[in-house]
Amino acid sequence: MTIGIIVYSETGNTLTVARTLEQQLSSQGHPVTLEQLQVTGNPRSKDQLQLESRPNLEEYERLIMGSPVHAFSLSPAMTAFLQQIPSLDQKPTIAFVTQFFPFAWMGGNRALRQMTTLCKERSGRLLASAVINWSHPRRDPNISKIVERLSQKIIQ
Ligand SMILES: Cc1cc2nc3c(=O)[nH]c(=O)nc-3n(C[C@H](O)[C@H](O)[C@H](O)COP(=O)(O)O)c2cc1C
């Protein structure tokens, strides 16, 4: 089963989690491709940025999407991407966000809600989701647990 991991990352946090997921899934023998969204223009405004890369989601049977939280919301880049994709046709999908603050109520939950709503509007079938809190004292064990949980869900 082909898995696409589509990630937007500015300072590398979300990319780190995406790479860990990629390693975990490929070590289990699944064909995984990680694609990074690149933007030009103003990355703080979904209406003033241009997506340089447009991953072809039809190549994948399952999707994992990852984004940072920006200003208590989903990043404008991931928002713009999800608004532009064609129907996901009930494709099994996982969404995750990373945020600086240690608690999910400090923007993570809201960003994830926005992301899952956009996926569902595109007829994605949400299997699981996660918020990763970068300044949480137990960040690394938390990431390990989340990667384990999401990896199991995506192959079910
Ligand atoms: C413009 C901007 C706004 C941000 N807003 C928030 C926020 O509302 N809540 C939060 O916890 N972190 C916020 N952050 C921090 C990022 O969400 C966090 O560092 C994230 O892990 C960065 O991911 P990346 O390294 O993949 O870009 C913000 C960062 C930027 C650049």
pLDDT of residue 88: 96
- Each residue's pLDDT, cut to its tens digit, for the chain (156 residues) gives 999 999 999 999 999 999 999 999 999 999 999 999 999 999 999 999 999 988 999 999 999 999 999 999 999 999 999 999 999 999 999 999 999 999 999 999 999 999 999 999 999 999 999 999 999 999 999 999 999 999 999 998
Query: Which pLDDT does position 53 carry in this prediction?
Result: 84
User: What's the CATH fold of domain 3-154?
Assistant: Rossmann fold (3.40.50)
User: From start to end of 31-155, where are the E strands?
Assistant: 32-36, 39-41, 49-51, 62-70, 73-74, 92-99, 125-133
- HSE-CB of 121 using CA atoms within 13 angstroms: 11
Pocket of ligand 1 (CB under 6 A): 9-15, 68-72, 98-101, 106-107, 134
Distance from the CA of 101 to the center of ligand 1, in angstroms?
Answer: 8
| pTM tops 0.95 | yes
Cα 69 to ligand 1 centre (Å) = 5
Predicted pLDDT of residue 137: 97
CA angle (101 as vertex; 81, 51 as ends), nearest 5: 15
Query: Residue 131 in 3-state DSSP?
Result: strand
